[in-house]
């Protein structure tokens, strides 16, 4: 496969897209880890949600 005289622009396009997608995945994964950590922390302190105490599962 030859990318011709404008190879730089094509590579840059794919690089930018990969970067944006990677950033999006990274952000979502980091956010997930952070929320899980805080939730674990709160549960360890014995904080419960109203719903858990009422034995229902609607928050």
Partner 1 sequence: MAVIDLANPTRFLTLVDRVLPWLAGVTALVFAYGLYRVVGAPDDYQQGATVKIMYLHVPGAWLGMMGWGVMTVAALGTLVWRHPLADVAGKAAAPIGAAFTFICLATGMLWGRPMWGTYWVWDARLTSVLVLFLLYLGMLALYWTADDPNRSTRAAAILALVGAVNIPIIKFSVDWWNTLHQPASVVRMGGAAIDSSILVPLLIMTLAFTLLFFTLHFAAMRNEILRRRVRSMRMMQARESDT
d(CA 11, CA 56): 54
State the minimum distance, in angstroms, from the CB of residue 33 to partner 1.
10
The two structure tokens encoding residue 58:
């609607």
Sign of the C-alpha dihedral, residues 35, 37, 40, 44? negative
State the minimum distance, in angstroms, from the CB of residue 23 to partner 1.
8
State the minimum distance, in angstroms, from the CB of residue 58 to partner 1.
6
- How many whole angstroms from its chain centre is CA 35? 10
- Interacting residues with partner 1 (CB under 8 A): 1-7, 9-10, 12-14, 16-17, 20-21, 23-25, 27-29, 31-32, 35-36, 38-39, 42, 45, 47-50, 57-59
């Amino acid at each position: 496969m030859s990318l011709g005289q404008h190879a730089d622009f094509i590579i840059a396009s794919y690089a930018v897209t990969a970067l944006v997608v990677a950033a999006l995945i990274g952000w979502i994964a980091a956010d997930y880890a952070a929320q899980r950590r805080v939730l674990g922390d709160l549960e360890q302190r014995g904080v419960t949600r109203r719903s858990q105490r009422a034995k229902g599962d609607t928050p």
